[in-house]
Structure 1
């Protein structure tokens, strides 16, 4: 399943910020956290954390689910995997090593 340019750009923009990467790390460690749980980690306002979550949600990296009065945030790693497959996998060690040794001769 390829990732379109607009979605890909949204993922790169979301991952460019260290706070958003930290939120993804926190959700990777313990998925389904609330805004209250996430905001305790950061030295910023609740609104600031909400803005970062919105960028992550717009990039489909975070999915929110209402459970009664509680909203939980879940990591969606699929967009990261799609970017990996498109941009990183083709530069794996084996391929880069082959290119490096071909140029060294």
Structure 2
């Protein structure tokens, strides 16, 4: 679980910024170069590159070289790992809600 927490930390750090969230939305539509992403924001390519680097570290995007350019694409596997991590907590809430339901039904039946 410790490795998952470390991976999740980088992922949540990547997701924690509105600009990076917007970049992910853009990459949902299609793969884009750094220049194409930068054209969508009022910031330098260097600033966009920093955001893309954090998204890559968070395993939410993959970067591949195409000639002299780097092309950015969503990494569905990274989102699957995030989903798995979150499902761990779903079990916790499912158990708590089941216990609450049982307690409420017991109180209702006791009346």
TM-score range, shorter chain: 0.7 to 0.9
Q: CA RMSD in A?
A: 2.4
Identify the structure with the greater helix proportion.
2
Match in the other structure for 1:33? 32
Structure having the higher Rg: 2
What is the alpha-carbon distance in structure 2 between the residues aligned to residue 44 and residue 102 of structure 1? 54
Q: CA distance change for structure 1 residues 23 and 100 in 2, over 3 Å: closer, same or farther?
A: farther
Bigger RCO (CA 8 Å, 6+ sep): 1
Structure 1 portions without partners, runs of 5+: none
Q: Secondary structure at the match of 2:70?
A: strand
Shift of 1:29: 1.0
Structure 2 portions without partners, runs of 5+: 106-111
Match in the other structure for 1:59? 58
Shift of 1:4: 1.9
Q: TM-score by structure 2 length?
A: 0.75
Q: TM-score by structure 1 length?
A: 0.79
For these two proteins, the number of residue pairs brought into alignment is 102
Moved more, 78-87 or 67-76: 78-87
Match in the other structure for 2:82? 83
